[in-house]
Amino acid sequence: MLLHIILLSLFAFPFSMALGTLQGSTINTIAKPNCQTRCGNITVPYPFGIGNDTDCSIDNSFHVTCNMTYEPPKLFLRSSDIEIYSISDSELRIGTAVSYGCYNKNGTLIDDFDFWIQLSAFTFSQKNKFTVLGCDDYSFIRGTNGVDFSNGCLGLCSKAQDVPDDGQCSGMGCCQTSIPKGLSKYNVTLYTFNNHRAVFPFNDCGYAFLGEEGSFEFRGVHDLYADSDVVERIESTVPVVVDWVRAVHELNEHEQGYVRVRSLRKFGCS
């Protein structure tokens, strides 16, 4: 409680702005005085701030890095490689990464990637869906929000003609499921039933990712080939929605947040 009062008086103006936005008013586009408000096209409102040694953010867990070597400049969460696309009054939209497993026609795993991410101060929004692409694949998203969570989805089909290309993720070749509230980290692992042996001519890889519902347009069997643009398309257009408001309250309870990302990339045969 004492800390709460000190925080309120230290940051009286911007902190009340942040609280004001909790009641659903307009987006706070105001950074602390003498702090940079923009990174390229992206507005950085308090309690976020650019730089971790500048005192521009409410706490180290809210610092962001503006990298000017990109045109336009890119914004990253803390000092990580998690790209921030936008910051609203209660949410961040960040980049996602696609987990995948690719097979040759003999059913040998030739390339795979399992992704995991941890955002201890912030949580993944329930506006996100977990999506699995493939005809011989299932995948689990596992994480924790205090209790361990695991959910899976199944991509099945036996013929290329069975996979609809009307943009909908309806079960054939594409499966979607939800995640629980309050998840602060997750990992995605892909599995296959038959190493794509039966579906290899039109589907040699399975893919899985978390992303904002409605932001991914499934282009049918086109998206099931290793040499399609599906991974690049997802990683450049599908955001993950992150809730940050609760982390401000947790600061008052003196809980220091931190952000960590690590991905595990494995290549080779098995």
Ligand X SMILES: *[C@@H]1O[C@H](CO)[C@@H](O)[C@H](O)[C@H]1NC(C)=O
Interface positions with ligand X (CB under 6 A)? 41, 52-53, 65, 67, 69, 72, 78-79, 104-106, 108, 116, 142-144, 148, 187
Minimum distance of ligand X from residue 130's CB (angstroms): 13
Q: Which is nearer to ligand X, 106 or 270 (CB)?
A: 106
**Whole-number minimum distance, CB 182 to ligand X, in Å?**
13
Residue number, nearest CB to ligand X? 53
Displacement of CA 240 from its chain's centroid (Å): 4
Question: Of 69 and 270, which has the nearer Cβ to ligand X?
Answer: 69
CB of 10 to ligand X, least distance (A): 18
CB-based contacts of 144, cutoff 8 Å, min separation 6: 183, 184, 185
Structure tokens at 194: 């038959």
Considering the complex, state which of residue 131 and residue 187 has its C-beta at the smaller distance from ligand X.
Answer: 187
Closest CB 23 distance from ligand X, rounded Å: 28
Query: What's the closest the beta carbon of residue 172 comes to ligand X, in angstroms?
Result: 27
Closest to ligand X by CB, 64 vs 135, is 64
- Cβ closer to ligand X: 86 or 126? 86
* Torsion sign, CA atoms 224, 156, 199, 202: negative
Closest CB to ligand X among residues 20, 72? 72
We find the least distance from the C-beta atom of residue 157 to ligand X, in angstroms, to be 23
Q: Is 95 exposed, middle or buried (0-12, 13-18, 19+ CB in 10 A)?
A: buried
Q: At its nearest, how many Å lie between ligand X and the CB of residue 155?
A: 20
What is the closest distance, in whole angstroms, from the C-beta atom of residue 164 to ligand X in the complex?
30
Considering the complex, state which of residue 166 and residue 227 has its C-beta at the smaller distance from ligand X: 227
Give whichever of 75 and 163 is closer to ligand X, judged by the CB atom. Answer: 75
Q: Would you say 135 and 207 are in contact if contact means Cβ atoms under 8 Å apart? A: no
